[in-house]
Structure 1
Amino acid sequence: MKRLVFLLLFVSGFTQAQSGLFEQANEAYANNEFETAIQKYEEILENGETSVAVYYNLGNAYYKQNKVAPSIYYYEKALQLDPTDKDVQNNIEFARNMTIDDIPVVEETGLGKSVNKLISTFTYNTWAYLAIALSILFVLFFLLYYFSRKPIQKRLFFGIASVAFLVGAISVYFAFKQQEIQFNNQYAIIFAEEAAIKNEPDQRGEVAFTLHEGTKAKVLEDFQGWVKIELANGSQGWIKNENLKKL
C-alpha cells in the first residue's frame, strides 16, 4: 500500500512539474522568447510526455523563427495524434508555403479515395473506441429484441442491433486500416537546407534530383546510413540519413 501511495504521489508530482514547464513555455512564447519556449517544450518531450498542444506550440515557436523543417516536423507530429485538428491543419499549410520544393501530389480517384478519406477522419484509437461503444449497443438492443414480446418492438430492436453490429464491424476494419497506415507507412521531413537525392545508396551515385528543407517524403528502406524515400509524385531516390528526420 505504501508503494502504491508513493507511486501515486510520484505521478502527481511529475504531472505537476510537466504542467509547470508547459505554462513556462507558453509564457516565454507569449513574450516572444521563442528559444526559451522551444527549450521548455522539448524538455517536456524528453520527459516522455507527448500531446497535440505541445507539438503544435513547438511547431508555432519554430515557425515564428522561420525554421521551416522543424515547424513542419512538429505540426506533422501533432497531426499523427489528432489528424482532425483544424488549427494544426491550417498552420501546417502556412509552413508548407515556405518550402522551396513544389511536389505535385498524385491524387487517388474513385472509391479508394473516398474510403481512405473516411478512414483518415479519426485516429485508430477513436475508431476502436467507436467499435467498442457500438458492440455494447448491439448487445443491449439484441437483449431487448430477445426479451421483447411485441412484434413491432422486436423488429425495431433487431433493426437497431443489426445496424450497430454492421457499423461496429466497419469501425473495427477502419481501426486496423488506420493503424496499418500509421505504423507501416513511415514518413520523414528533410532537415538539410539542400540535399542531393541519389539513384543508389552510394556517395558516388548519380544525382536524381535535389530536395530542400521542409519537404515530406515516405520512407521505403534503410541501408548503411542511407534512406530510400518516395515523394508524393512517385519519384524515388536515396538520401543520407543525417539529412532527414523520421516522424
Structure 2
Amino acid sequence: MKKVIYILTFFLSTYVLAQNKQLFDEANTLYNDANYTEALEKYKSILESGEHSAELYFNIANAHYKLNHIAPSIYYYEKALLLKPNDKDIKNNIAFARNMTVDAIDTVPEVGISKFVKNITNMMSFDAWAKLAVGFVVLFVILLVTYYFTYSTSKKRFSFVTGSLSLLLSFVALGFAFHKFELVKNDQPAIVFAQESKIKSEPNLRSSEAFVLHEGTKVQVLDTVSNWKKIKLSDGKTGWIMNDDIKILKDF
C-alpha cells in the first residue's frame, strides 16, 4: 500500500511541476506582450500550488512594478532576495522600486564590537557554525587520545596545546552558532501595504500618533499584541501598527 502511495505522490508531483512550468512559460509570454495583469494571475496560480522560488517572486515583482503597485513589487523583490541575497538583477530592480516610495528613512550604522561580531556571525549559517563546533570537538578528542597514548614529550606538548585550542575554538564556534540563531529568529522584516498608516505610540487607537508611514516601507517586527504589531525602522524609531497594514516577508 505504501508503495502505491509513493508512486501516486511521485506522479502527482511530476504533473504539478509540468503544469507549473507551462503556466510559468505562458505568464512570461504574457509579460513580454505587456499583459501584466494576466501574467500576474498565472504567476499567482503557481504560487498557490505551493511552489516558491526566487525566479517566481522576481517575475511577480516585475509585473507589479510595471503596474505601479509599489508595496507588492517591493514585497516580492524582498522575498526573492531572501532566497537569492546576492542576485544582481534583484538588487537592481528593487532599487528602482524603492525609488517609488514616499518615506525617506535614514539607516543608523552599527559600529564597534557589535558590528564586528555581527559581521563574523553572518559569514556562515547556523548549521555551518554548529558543524564547525562539532569538528573542533572531534579534533579535541583525537588530540586528547594522542596525548595519553604518546610517550614523546614534544608530541604531548603539541597535543595538549592544540587540543586546548580546539576546545576553545569549539566554544567560540558554538557561541557564533547561537548568536546566528538569535539573529535569524529576531529578524522579522515586513512591508507596509497601507497607502498611509498612522503609527501609534501604544497598541490601541486612543494612543498618540508617533509618526506616519506609507506603502512600500520596510520595517522590522518586534512584538505582537492582539491585532497590533510593534515595529522598528532603520533609523531606530519604534511604534505600533495595525496587523492589516503590513505583510510579513518570511511567510513561505
Q: TM-score scaled to structure 2, two decimals?
A: 0.77
Question: Taking structure 1 as reference, are residues 178 and 86 closer, same or farther at Cα in structure 2, changes over 3 Å only?
Answer: farther
Aligned pairs, number: 237
The residue aligned with 2:110 is 108
Of 101, 126, 134, the match for 1:99:
101
| 2:71 aligned residue | 69
Distance 1:89 1:180, change over 3 A: farther
Q: Is the 8 A contact 2:229 2:241 kept in 1?
A: yes
Of the three residues 34, 46, 49, the one matched with 1:44 is 46
Q: Name the SS for the 2:185 alignment partner.
A: helix
Aligned equivalents of 2:186 and 2:213: distance in 1?
Answer: 24
SS at match of 1:233: coil
How far apart are the structure 1 equivalents of 2:94 and 2:79?
Answer: 11
The SS at the match of 2:222 is strand
The structure 2 residue matched to 1:88, chosen from 81, 87, 90, is 90
In structure 2, distance between residues paired with 1:45 and 1:220: 28
Cα distance between partner residues in 2 of 1:78 and 1:165? 39
CA RMSD of aligned residues (A): 3.4
Q: Deviations for 1:15-58, whole angstroms, at most 9, x for unmatched residues?
A: 11121121122111111111112112222121111011111111
- Contact 1:83–1:121 (CA<8 Å) still a contact in 2? no
Q: Classify 1:87/1:96 alpha carbon distance in 2 versus 1 (closer, same or farther; 3 Å).
A: same
Per-residue CA deviations over 1:133-172 (Å, capped at 9, x if unaligned) read 9989x98xxx9xx9xxxxxxxxxxx9xxxxx999999777
- 1:154 is matched with none
Query: 2:129·2:177 contact (CA, 8 Å) conserved in 1?
Result: no
Displacement of 1:175: 5.7
Q: For residues 176 and 84 of structure 2, what CA distance do their matches in structure 1 show?
A: 16
- Kindly indicate whether the alpha-carbon contact (under 8 Å) linking 2:39 and 2:63 is maintained by their aligned counterparts in 1: yes
Instruction: Specify the alignment match of 2:195 in structure 1.
Output: 193
Q: Which runs of 5+ in 1 are unaligned?
A: 147-157, 159-163
**C-alpha distance after superposition, 1:167-202 (max 9, x if no partner):** 999777656544433332212111111111111122
Q: Given residue 207 of structure 1, which amino acid in structure 2 is its aligned partner? A: E
Q: Is the 8 A contact 1:59 1:70 kept in 2?
A: yes
The residue type paired with residue 104 of structure 2 is D
Tell me the distance in 1 between the aligned counterparts of 2:99 and 2:4: 55
The residue identity in structure 2 corresponding to 1:232 is: S
Matches of 1:56 and 1:65, distance apart in 2: 14
- Give the direction of change, closer, same or farther, for the CA distance of 1:111–1:133 in structure 2 (3 Å limit): closer
Q: Determine the C-alpha separation between the residues in 2 that align with 1:54 and 1:172.
A: 36
Report SS of the residue matched to 2:59. helix
* Correspondence 1:45-194 to 2 at 5 A: 45-120=47-122, 124=125, 128=127, 177-194=179-196
Give unpaired runs (5+ residues) of structure 2: 147-158, 160-165
Structure 1, residues 70-124: CA drift from partner, whole Å, max 9, x if none? 11111111122222222212211111111111111110113432443454466x3
- Partner residue in 1 for 2:162: none
- Give the TM-score normalised by structure 1: 0.78
Whether the 8 Å contact between 1:135 and 1:168 is mirrored in structure 2 is yes
Q: Determine what percentage of the aligned residue pairs are the same residue.
A: 42
SS at match of 2:211: strand
Shift of 1:227: 1.3
Tell me, yes or no, if the aligned pair for 1:135 and 1:165 is still in contact at 8 Å: no
Paired residues of 2:132 and 2:173 also in contact (CA < 8 A)? no
Q: Which of the pair has more CA radius of gyration?
A: 2
- Aligned residue for 1:221, secondary structure, equals strand
Equivalent residue in structure 2 for 1:23, among 22, 25, 30: 25
Give the 3-state SS of the residue equivalent to 1:2 in structure 2: helix
